[in-house]
Amino acid sequence: MSWLRGDVERRITGATGRGVESARPLPGGCIAEVYRVFLDDDSTVVIKLARGGGLATEADMLGYLAGHSPLPVPGLIVAEDDLLILSDLGGGGRLTAASERDAAEHIAALHQVTAPRFGFDRDTLIGPLVQPNPQYANWVDFFREQRLMYMARMARERGQLSRRTFMMVKGLADKLESYLTEPPQPALIHGDLWTGNVLVAGDRIAGFVDPAIYFADPEIELAFSTLFGTFGEAFFTRYAELAPLRPGFFETRRDLYNLYPLLVHTVLFGGAYAASVERTLETYL
């Protein structure tokens, strides 16, 4: 591939000590091209290339997970704003009941990593969008201001959300205490658990990629994992054995928490996602 001739190839060779043989595109994130690169000793690495930059935050998040949690994530070989060279975890399989149970064990262990306050010590990203993370003592206030209203305002400013729907979001935000309770403690979450970010190898999980981390109520993570059908019964049965779910999650709080990723998708894509936001809001107002 033409981009491998020149600076990028030299940087890969300089970091790995191996020559580049070929590369294969992989499904990627919103701000970067992603490739599996085959080296001349038959080993592979994964690279993310963003010619306009923007990868430093992802590198920080991967480094934090590697250093502060048991979650399996790619190792950072090179971490620069326009280029990440990562260890290749493999994967590429489909989720099965067995691999869902394995995923539940990984995610339950991740959620045991705690902090004194909700948020994070720096802003992070979800896809290409900034996630503000000022630290709060109160989860409901954090979710209201830094997730629900923050993303609704962005969607409104970009013309992706009608004034009527925005006011519905505000109406729900004003009465969140009717639906949400404070979790026992802030938990570290991956933050973007859709299927493409879960690498599967047979009946186990090879790793997790493209995080959007912060300290949260872990229920927002569990909710997101159902929005696009990532995990199902096998995952939740095993997770509940390790970390029992609080009553009312599926019945009341799951769809409310999924307003946040729906608003993220509304900002990025509008259309049907804005309609999904409105339908969800109608069940709470």
Residues identified as active-site: 192
The two tokens of residue 211 are: 């995080």
Closest CA to 95 of 227, 236, 195, 223: 195
Decide: helix, strand or coil at residue 79.
strand
Burial of 148 (0-12, 13-18, 19+ CB in 10 A): buried
Amino acid at the residue 23:
A
Cite the DSSP H helix spans in the chain: 7-16, 56-68, 97-110, 139-142, 150-157, 163-173, 218-227, 233-242, 254-257, 259-269, 272-282
Q: In Å, how far are 107, 197, 224 from 190, measured between CA atoms?
A: 8, 10, 11
Q: In Å, how far are 242, 247, 250, 252, 280 from 145, measured between CA atoms?
A: 31, 25, 23, 20, 19
Element (H, E) at 250: none
